[in-house]
Amino acid sequence: MEKGTDFELEGYEFTFITRRNKGGGVALYVDKSLKFNVVEKMTMVIDNVLECITVEICKKKKSKNVIISCIYRAPGSIETFKDWIEETFIEIAHKKVFICGDFNIDLLNPNKHITTEEFINTMYCMNLFPKITRPTRITSHCATLIDNIFTNDIENKTVSGLLINDITDHLPIFTIYDRNYKINKMDSKKEYRGVRTEERMNAFKKDLLKENWGEVYQEQDVNSAYNEFLRIFTLLYNTNCQIKQYSRKHKYMDCPWITKGLQNACIKKNALYRDFLRTRTKDAEIRYKRYKNRLTNILRYSKKKNTI
């Protein structure tokens, strides 16, 4: 594969790696508005095993960097590929990762092939989960799921699926990832709801009683009288019944004994749990469980103290 006009797309940076002995390879197109770097130590060709190209999308505002790898696994030993992917991606478990490509490993029938089951378990142990669950290569006599997108992002909002297109004998796959989902979700807590106060409603009633409705009765036509009545009513209503803004209730409204400090402790506990899920180490598990047990006891004591 040679870089040229045949492969370039307007508005995208084209980066690729090719096989050394014959045609073929893997490539990525990155929007030119994004800043990225090619991760050299995760970009390689292993003859008759795999081709892989990896980029790191640099963070924007409060979002984290995202690692994206495109892989092609040649038919053959899954064991060698499994060992390579574990060694390569275990070091970046703390980052957001998306691994896409043609793995030539059918995930629809893992129990029929022990090395396929071992590959899936390896991915799960690194907290990498497949986004595609339907066949990607369909023929008249079989259907297999050999193309996929694995990610360790289980919290943010993603949309994944297949495209019906016959450009190849594999169905194109996609994942749409909102890297600002958490930020947007936090911003939504700042929304407001309108509530009319009793004080303003009483003022509105008084103005209705004081109003001289003579102009309404002077109208000869019933429609004109109604329009005049509605005009006066709406004017008084808009004057008195202004909307008072209230911030949305927080989720601990029914638990007043949960202080701000305890809320922060719950956030830290969840962060420790996420860290354990990413790393799957004994130390991370001990830190999480130790903190969780302490926090549980404190929450029980605080609740009991405030309900007596």
Q: What is the pLDDT of residue 154?
A: 78
pLDDT in tens, 121-162: 999 988 899 999 999 998 878 899 999 999 998 777 789 999
pLDDT at 99 over 60: yes
- Say which residues have a Cβ less than 8 Å from residue 138's Cβ, sequence separation at least 6: 171
Q: Is 66 in a helix, a strand, or coil?
A: strand
Q: What is the pLDDT of residue 251?
A: 57
Q: What is the pLDDT of residue 70?
A: 97
pLDDT at 225 over 60: yes
**pTM greater than 0.85:** no
State the average pLDDT for the chain: 84
Q: What is the pLDDT of residue 16?
A: 93
CB 36 within 8 Å of CB 57 = yes
Q: How confident is the model at residue 83 (pLDDT cuts 50, 70, 90)?
A: very high
- Identify the CATH number of the domain defined by range 12-182: 3.60.10.10
Q: What is the pLDDT of residue 28?
A: 96
Specify the range with the lowest mean pLDDT, choosing from 78-82, 138-142, 205-209: 138-142
Q: Where are the domains of the chain?
A: 12-182, 199-239, 249-307
Most confident segment among 33-37, 219-223, 258-262, 282-286: 33-37
User: Using CA atoms, how far apart are residues 76 and 47, in angstroms rounded to an integer?
Assistant: 11
